Every structure is written in structure tokens, then in C-alpha cells.
Amino acid sequence: MEILIRKAIIEDAKEISAIWTVICAERIYSAVDKPFTTEQEQKYISSLL
């Protein structure tokens, strides 16, 4: 299996939000208890570019 690590782009926001949803639902490995929406994730990624 090949793993590619790259910087996130705005188009990744939906998938990143889906990952946050799972992490928050587990309530084990994160202090975050409410996942970011796609729009919030897009805004965050935009701030990093």
C-alpha cells in the first residue's frame, strides 16, 4: 500500500469533515466533541493557504 501525504486543499473539506465526525463520535482520542462542518473546514483550510 502506498501512502501519500500532502497539504489539504479546499476540495478536501468534505472528506476531512467526515473524518472529524467519526473521531468526535468515538469520544476517546480527541478533546473535540463537535465536528467541523464542511463550510468551517473550508474556511480553516483557506486560512492556511
> pLDDT tens, 1-49?
999 999 999 999 999 999 999 988 887 877 888 889 999 999 999 999 8
Tell me the domain boundaries of the chain: 11-48
Q: Quote the CA–CA distance of 19 and 41 in Å, as a whole number.
A: 11
Residue 30's pLDDT is what? 76
Q: Under DSSP, is residue 31 helix (H, G, I), strand (E, B) or coil?
A: coil
Residue 23's pLDDT is what? 87
* Main-chain phi, psi angles of 29, to 5 degrees: -105, 15
Q: Quote the CA–CA distance of 13 and 28 in Å, as a whole number.
A: 23
Give the residue carrying C-alpha cell 501519500.
Answer: 4
pTM score above 0.85: no
Residue 11's pLDDT is what? 96
Q: Quote the CA–CA distance of 10 and 19 in Å, as a whole number.
A: 15
